[in-house]
Amino acid sequence: MRILGFIPARAGSKRISGKNIMPLAGKPLLAHTIEAAKKSKYINRVLVSTDSENIAKIAEQYGAEVPFLRPEEISRTDSTEMQFFEHALGWLVKNENYVPDLIVLLYPTSPFRKPETIDRAIEKIFEYPDADSLRSVRLCSEHPHKMWVIDNNLLKPLIKSEKSSDHTLSYQSLPKVYIQNASIYITKPRTIREMKSPIGNIVIPFIMDEMESIDINNPIDFKIAEMVAKDMKIKR
């Protein structure tokens, strides 16, 4: 099978400037994801989609392909997965006549995912041939039953419930809720092409632990990642 490891890494980041190439444990953040993808026993091509020549150069140094630069208009903060999927697939078909069987989307902001975890996710979607996609998730630590919105200066529950006391229940008494963790998303080209969606309707869950689910979005996240990386190095 043609299994494409697809890593989107645009240059712009409002919360952390140059986030995707900031050093973490002695190498650019992006490099951790490239190396994990290349160690997968199923992924047979690793491609980085970026709008930056500098990021492209770093990606190539760590063994990823960068056959094109992503257009600026789909490299903004509000750009979607669908846009960069369509652009990449269109380019690959037109220029190489290449269509992958699976696209394994790996965001560079998840540096602690392991190659064997990527492989387990791929094996899981193999078990469900009718699935449109797979999404990695983690157990949600902040339950939506305990979330509120402010309406006319009053708190209103985000999740409506018959009893207001439901919002005081312990976490153990509430249903388990999972949140996508931006670590391993797998989709099929037919889902993108036919359903105009990177997700589709039949979505397989892939549950990951807290450590591999660390997702770097702001300076505090980066500080936590640095502490985790240091702790892992000491243990090794």
What was the pLDDT predicted at 165?
Answer: 80
Q: Please, what are the domains in the chain?
A: 3-138+179-235 (3.90.550.10), 141-176 (no CATH)
Evaluated on CA atoms 144, 148, 149, 151, the torsion sign reads positive
Residue burial 73-105, b: 16+ Cβ < 10 Å; e: rest: ebbeeebebebbbbbbbeebeeeeeeebebbbb
Tens of pLDDT, residue by residue over 2-41, are: 999 999 998 877 667 788 999 999 999 999 999 999 999 9
Contacts of 56 (CB under 8 A, 6+ apart): 48, 50, 66, 69
What was the pLDDT predicted at 234?
Answer: 65
What was the pLDDT predicted at 94?
Answer: 97
Average pLDDT, the chain: 93
What was the pLDDT predicted at 172?
Answer: 83
What was the pLDDT predicted at 235?
Answer: 62
Mean pLDDT value of segment 169-198: 93
Tens of pLDDT, residue by residue over 157-180, are: 998 887 778 888 888 888 899 999
Q: Which residue has the tokens 């160690």?
A: 39
What was the pLDDT predicted at 163?
Answer: 78
Q: What's the whole-model pTM score?
A: 0.91
Mean pLDDT value of segment 151-159: 93
pLDDT surpasses 60 at 90? yes
Q: Cβ–Cβ contacts within 10 Å for residue 234, how many?
A: 7
Q: Which secondary structure element, helix H or strand E, spans residue 180, and what is its range?
A: strand 178-187
Distance of CA 193 to the CA centre of its chain: 20
Quote the percentage of the chain above a pLDDT of 90: 77
State phi, psi for 66 to the nearest 5 degrees. Answer: -135, 80
What was the pLDDT predicted at 162?
Answer: 78
Tens of pLDDT, residue by residue over 45-63, are: 999 999 999 999 999 999 9
